[in-house]
Structure 1
């Protein structure tokens, strides 16, 4: 104590305890001062280096929305000692239930959050010295070949069936399979799903096999098991987790092809599937289930899901739901009578149960293949009008879905299971939460905080993209949201050593042809890069300075041509870069130009590659690029061999791309990397 007393005395300009002040008096003084000043010290400790967060609702109103954020490893390592508080005005703080998974924390925006508003949260040392973990939550337990998700009040919500379910007596065992959800229960405890009905023994609650596929010229049906083409096996469950807010699992499935309909031994694996489930209780009357499937073609040849009327994630309802009792509504305003083969963002169905009406809202993510996906609904009168509620989202009802060798493909869905009924406004709000979640910003921790970016849009004689205003506006929004300033200009006078020194990153947004006017401007650009400057090139920037070899080398190449604008797939080659680490393994690009670049710099590190097997381009197959890169062609890359950091993406032709959250985040990641 004497050291603390001595320090305190010096702080207040008192004499040393070795001199004229008795130690007993000083001890009493220290106790009084400690009582007075401890709250200030505690507050300082709380406001130390722990992160705070701002949650932006965006253009949509939110209700009981789950949000998550990533923090540094050092913070995550101490999460047991931390608590999360909502800052509600001034120094007022309200404790918030939080769930940690490594360096990731999640919490709920309690109540309603109006559109266009912000809410602030802060981590701090918990007052008791340890973070609080309230009772309840959701747990996932594996027993007897199935995983049960159980709420804190001991209500079972749903079950993932891992092991093959036995078939009814007298039914061919070929119908037995695992890897499905059943039962899915209403929040009140009533079963909403059904398996192995006598009209379709291959129906299994919620499941997602392909129906009409082609491999090596052979038709394969993994839905109608009685055909004996193959099956889907459930091979294991990993990452079983529970907590105060969510529970989840990762399941592994395999698509097996039988040698023929009479021989099942020696089955060949074609696809590996990872199913990620996440369950979150919204309140006593609703819970949500995130259902994400990632499939990988593990063969050396394409696996093609052929266009067909039903396949993909399906739902078979309880037997007493039918034309007379069930209510079905889609985001397009369609119902059971007219909804089949239409497109929808969401569809919901509810019907009678022992506890009143209950139902499920099915949501399809806008990043899914062929979104908004076409839906299959058994129309009125199907199955004789009885026991006839079946529906599914189908990514390949109107177009083929091609899975290239070693390609990975992700589909994301969400189910909201509810008591009572939902109206279309509530359904739309749930979809917006899923498709466009609130944005969580870690305050003051942005990698671009305080950086300065020059967006250069100069075009020489020739084609000028109409997307330039949209691209500039998008980057300006990124600056506002991420703490960096943006100057946009098409004036080459910026290219002097003195003026370029003001910027951390140069973004050439759809520049094209001759963009500099003097040799001095060329040299200023060159000096900037070789001095360690950051560069980002977007789309037609690769067509700039076509007669300057240095530009080709430093950017990675120069424009050659592109086939007609179309949809095609892009594979993520490096999933660990900030411009790609959030993307699905295969990114389905809409209405875009597939750029072919010549004079490619072999020093480039490729981030994305176009899948040329999905590009309609007879000229390219006969000429360049031909088979230069097989069925791939670089679509985004970076270079570091000229002193600076150069990043480029060939994507971004249409103005609409600059309001696509994935593409904008792709650009943001490029700017972050270039600014380091």
Structure 2
């Protein structure tokens, strides 16, 4: 993964609030929200991740108003606390992960007690040595099941995604294959197909290869199996590998070239997943 200098894009100015402040909850105009969601983010590293966080906060806010749920976002990871999390049906990690033992333990207990979680892209990143080492076995090995980050494609490019489980609320009604928004795709140290608790919902279809444009040869994938959305059936959780927009880093300031939510099927999958987490809707399985 290439981390670029943090130069805020001009386009971000109209939508991007100061990351030091929490975004006020988006409240529906009816008698009350169906459920409450809180998103955590850091917003300090790669401009592509900052771009995604900015648009995700805006998109979730719009969906909250349309779908009658409450959404708020914050950079205060200390709100990962049992009392503070109690009102929320779902927690979202937009870019990174909790760092302190207290935050991590509170999140683990929240999940073990039936809380919901959605994570994007860099929220699963772990590489030793790096600024984000693999130092949380429960999260990376048991909860996510993916282990450590191994490599990625470059540049961010669209892929054809294949739905692996059409009965989950996140993927119900989606076409069998669909085009994603441009993304930097990750490869992991663990084969998720071998984990009995992991249900893979979508993967990169072989028709996508070669995937990536380089310039380094290892940044172009020519084959293999790459899950991009999955759940751990021991928890109410879902992870999406999406969340890295394409950027023109050579422009001054840097300029956004893509939007994660511009892919209509991809946005439907994310919204379906959130509704599942927020309402407690069970996956519909075919009769044996």
Alignment-derived partner of residue 229 in structure 2: 636
Alignment-derived partner of residue 36 in structure 1: none
Structure with higher Rg: it is: 1
Alignment-derived partner of residue 105 in structure 2: 523
- Specify which of 588, 591, 595 is matched with residue 179 of structure 2: 588
Give yes or no for the alignment of 1:562 onto 2:144.
no
Per-residue CA distance 1:183-217 (angstroms, 9 max, x = gap):
xxxxxxxxxxxxxxxxxxxxxxxxxxxxxxxxxxx
The answer (yes or no) to whether the contact 1:570–1:587 under 8 Å persists in 2 is yes
- 1:495–1:460 distance in 2 versus 1, CA, 3 Å: farther
- 1:518–1:561 distance in 2 versus 1, CA, 3 Å: same
Per-residue CA distance 1:444-495 (angstroms, 9 max, x = gap):
9xxx952110111125766743221101110111111111101101111111
In 2, Cα distance between the equivalents of 1:531 and 1:637?
Answer: 20
- 1:500–1:623 distance in 2 versus 1, CA, 3 Å: same
Alignment-derived partner of residue 202 in structure 2: 608
Alignment-derived partner of residue 547 in structure 1: 135
Per-residue CA distance 1:21-77 (angstroms, 9 max, x = gap):
xxxxxxxxxxxxxxxxxxxxxxxxxxxxxxxxxxxxxxxxxxxxxxxxxxxxxxxxx
- Specify which of 657, 663, 668 is matched with residue 260 of structure 2: 657
Per-residue CA distance 1:336-363 (angstroms, 9 max, x = gap):
xxxxxxxxxxxxxxxxxxxxxxxxxxxx
Alignment-derived partner of residue 40 in structure 2: 456
The answer (yes or no) to whether the contact 1:538–1:648 under 8 Å persists in 2 is yes
Alignment-derived partner of residue 578 in structure 1: 169
Structure 2 counterpart SS, 1:582: coil
Give yes or no for the alignment of 1:507 onto 2:99.
no
Give, in angstroms, the shift of residue 634 of structure 1.
Answer: 0.8
The answer (yes or no) to whether the contact 2:180–2:266 under 8 Å persists in 1 is no
Give, in angstroms, the shift of residue 530 of structure 1.
Answer: 0.7
The answer (yes or no) to whether the contact 2:171–2:272 under 8 Å persists in 1 is yes
- Specify which of 74, 86, 89 is matched with residue 489 of structure 1: 74
In 1, Cα distance between the equivalents of 2:45 and 2:208?
Answer: 33
Give, in angstroms, the shift of residue 526 of structure 1.
Answer: 0.8
- 1:566–1:624 distance in 2 versus 1, CA, 3 Å: closer
In 1, Cα distance between the equivalents of 2:82 and 2:157?
Answer: 41
The answer (yes or no) to whether the contact 1:474–1:659 under 8 Å persists in 2 is no
- 1:604–1:626 distance in 2 versus 1, CA, 3 Å: farther
In 2, Cα distance between the equivalents of 1:473 and 1:535?
Answer: 19
The answer (yes or no) to whether the contact 2:44–2:50 under 8 Å persists in 1 is no
Give, in angstroms, the shift of residue 580 of structure 1.
Answer: 1.3
Per-residue CA distance 1:569-593 (angstroms, 9 max, x = gap):
1111111222112322111224322
- 1:590–1:480 distance in 2 versus 1, CA, 3 Å: closer
User: Normalized per residue, which structure has more strand?
Assistant: 1
In 2, Cα distance between the equivalents of 1:495 and 1:507?
Answer: 11
User: Normalized per residue, which structure has more helix?
Assistant: 2
- 1:495–1:616 distance in 2 versus 1, CA, 3 Å: same
Give, in angstroms, the shift of residue 525 of structure 1.
Answer: 0.7
- Greater length-normalized contact order (CA 8 Å, ≥ 6 residues apart): 2
Give, in angstroms, the shift of residue 567 of structure 1.
Answer: 2.8
Gaps of 5+ in 1: 1-443
- 1:575–1:499 distance in 2 versus 1, CA, 3 Å: same
Per-residue CA distance 1:488-512 (angstroms, 9 max, x = gap):
0111111111101121100111x13
TM-score, scaled relative to structure 1: 0.30
Give, in angstroms, the shift of residue 669 of structure 1.
Answer: 1.0
Number of equivalenced pairs: 221
The answer (yes or no) to whether the contact 2:209–2:221 under 8 Å persists in 1 is no
Alignment-derived partner of residue 188 in structure 2: 597
Per-residue CA distance 1:381-429 (angstroms, 9 max, x = gap):
xxxxxxxxxxxxxxxxxxxxxxxxxxxxxxxxxxxxxxxxxxxxxxxxx
In 2, Cα distance between the equivalents of 1:625 and 1:530?
Answer: 38
Q: How does 1:257-276 map to 2 (within 5 A)?
A: none
Q: How does 1:332-481 map to 2 (within 5 A)?
A: 449-458=33-42, 464-481=49-66
- 1:611–1:560 distance in 2 versus 1, CA, 3 Å: same
- 1:519–1:597 distance in 2 versus 1, CA, 3 Å: same
Per-residue CA distance 1:249-287 (angstroms, 9 max, x = gap):
xxxxxxxxxxxxxxxxxxxxxxxxxxxxxxxxxxxxxxx
In 1, Cα distance between the equivalents of 2:40 and 2:89?
Answer: 13
In 1, Cα distance between the equivalents of 2:43 and 2:125?
Answer: 10
